[in-house]
């Protein structure tokens, strides 16, 4: 039997945390079933946190668009890093003709990717996508069939997980110890923000902060063993204020802006439940194996729901007939004041919380 040639792989995905996690099944299949000797992953600095310590990734190259724009020197340095991988196979998830051209210039012979709106000019193998109507991870995984035709596997055959070091795994235990919480404490993580990859448009898919606060108060009334950790980054503080009086009860703690993404994952692995908007925190929670309730507004859950154990993932949506309106990476102007997210009631989410916590 002819021995399969060892290959050097480069994956280029410059998008958000969820999008990068959607590519993990494809990465896993390539590393487990193809003769890949080296894998480099190109991502942005925020998404890097979910790839660190992954045993299938040998090198992480950062691509931050704002940094690259700073001048010719930054562009040349990034291009040199691409060339130094010496890849002969590239998975191009950029949907961007200019970035695809860089992979062509880097001399990568086989460049495989999705062709959206005829942007795949510089791809050597491509799959056209027009109307997204199934999970994004399945479209990414379709590329495996171009590389290994006839090898019948599915993206659902592979787990999506974030690898932590032993020290990182111990972080959450130490945190609870320092807070004086015992082993009977049930931690519920609440993320009132998220959606960083949407930038200034993220408010369009965020549940109201006052509803998150009302939900937190009702959760704390369910059982005295429940503690709420409000999570997220510094910018998420603007979405909801956690009253000092509530924090003084030592039942609710505000960790926004105080934890790294990997420390957040450590806490999620210990938590009994995570409640999130549609965005990175939902995907982090699912990858951590935590029960997650994701509140989704304009974005279609059939395409972008978190990947993980379906039994642990609950999606809460409204009944408005115009959702989902976010299709093919575009969202139209809303004439109904984002009713798809604003019409979701606290009691609707609380019902799912009670089902998870058995209260």
pLDDT at 4: 67
Its CATH architecture, for the domain 7-157, is 3-Layer(aba) Sandwich (3.40)
With H, G, I as helix, E, B as strand and everything else as coil, classify residue 340. Answer: helix
Beta strands in 263-345 (DSSP E): 273-277, 292-295, 313-316
Instruction: Collect all residues with Cβ–Cβ distance below 8 Å to 128 and sequence separation of at least 6.
Output: 114, 115, 116, 120
Output the average pLDDT for the chain: 95
Render each residue's pLDDT in the chain as its tens digit; 359 residues. 345 688 999 999 999 999 999 999 999 999 999 999 999 999 999 999 999 999 999 999 999 998 898 889 999 999 999 999 999 999 999 999 999 999 999 999 999 999 999 999 999 999 999 889 999 999 999 999 999 999 999 999 999 999 999 999 999 999 999 999 998 999 999 999 998 878 888 888 999 999 999 999 999 999 999 999 999 999 999 999 999 999 999 999 999 999 999 999 999 999 999 999 999 999 999 999 999 999 999 999 999 999 999 999 999 999 999 999 998 888 888 989 899 999 999 999 999 999 999 97
**DSSP assignments along 232-265, one per residue:** --GGGGGG----HHHHTTTSEEE-TTTS-HHHHH
Q: Where in the chain is the domain with CATH 3.40.50.2000?
A: 7-157, 166-357
pLDDT of residue 5: 80
Burial of 291 (0-12, 13-18, 19+ CB in 10 A): buried
Superfamily of domain 166-357: Glycogen Phosphorylase B; (3.40.50.2000)
Residue in 261, 266, 258 with CA at minimum distance from that of residue 242? 258
Q: Which two tokens stand for residue 290?
A: 């935590």
Q: What does the alpha-carbon distance between residue 116 and residue 75 come to, in Å, rounded to a whole number?
A: 25
Residue 139, Cβ neighbours under 10 Å: how many? 20
Give the separation between CA 52 and CA 134, rounded to whole angstroms. 28
């Amino acid at each position: 039997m002819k021995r399969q040639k060892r290959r050097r792989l480069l994956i280029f995905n410059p998008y958000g945390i969820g999008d990068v996690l959607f590519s993990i099944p494809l990465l896993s299949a390539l590393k487990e079933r193809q003769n890949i000797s080296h894998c480099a992953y190109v991502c942005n600095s925020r998404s890097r946190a979910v790839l660190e310590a992954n045993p299938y990734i040998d090198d992480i190259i950062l691509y931050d668009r704002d940094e690259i724009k700073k001048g010719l020197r930054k562009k040349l340095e990034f291009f040199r890093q691409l060339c130094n991988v010496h890849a002969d196979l590239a998975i191009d998830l950029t949907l961007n003709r200019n970035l695809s051209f860089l992979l062509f210039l880097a001399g990568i012979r086989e460049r495989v990717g999705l062709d959206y709106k005829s942007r795949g000019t510089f791809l050597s193998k491509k799959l056209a996508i027009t109307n997204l109507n199934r999970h994004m991870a399945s479209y990414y995984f379709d590329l495996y069939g171009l590389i290994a035709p006839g090898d019948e596997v599915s993206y659902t055959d592979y787990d999506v997980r974030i690898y932590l070091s032993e020290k990182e795994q111990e972080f959450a235990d130490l945190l609870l110890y320092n807070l004086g919480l015992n082993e009977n404490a049930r931690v519920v993580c609440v993320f009132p923000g998220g959606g960083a990859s949407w930038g200034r448009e993220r408010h369009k898919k965020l549940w109201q902060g006052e509803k998150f606060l009302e939900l937190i108060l009702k959760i704390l009334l369910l059982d005295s063993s429940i503690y709420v950790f409000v999570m997220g980054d510094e910018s998420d503080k603007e979405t909801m204020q956690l009253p000092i009086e509530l924090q003084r009860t030592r039942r609710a703690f505000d960790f926004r802006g105080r934890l790294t993404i990997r420390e957040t994952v450590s806490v999620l692995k210990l938590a009994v439940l995570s409640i999130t908007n549609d965005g990175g925190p939902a995907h982090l929670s699912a990858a951590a194996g935590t029960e997650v309730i994701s509140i989704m507004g304009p974005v279609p859950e059939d395409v972008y729901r978190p990947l993980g154990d379906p039994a642990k993932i609950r999606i809460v949506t409204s009944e408005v007939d115009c959702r989902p309106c976010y299709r093919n990476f575009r969202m139209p102007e809303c004439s109904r004041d984002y009713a798809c997210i604003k019409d979701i009631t606290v009691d609707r989410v609380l019902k799912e919380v009670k089902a998870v916590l058995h209260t």
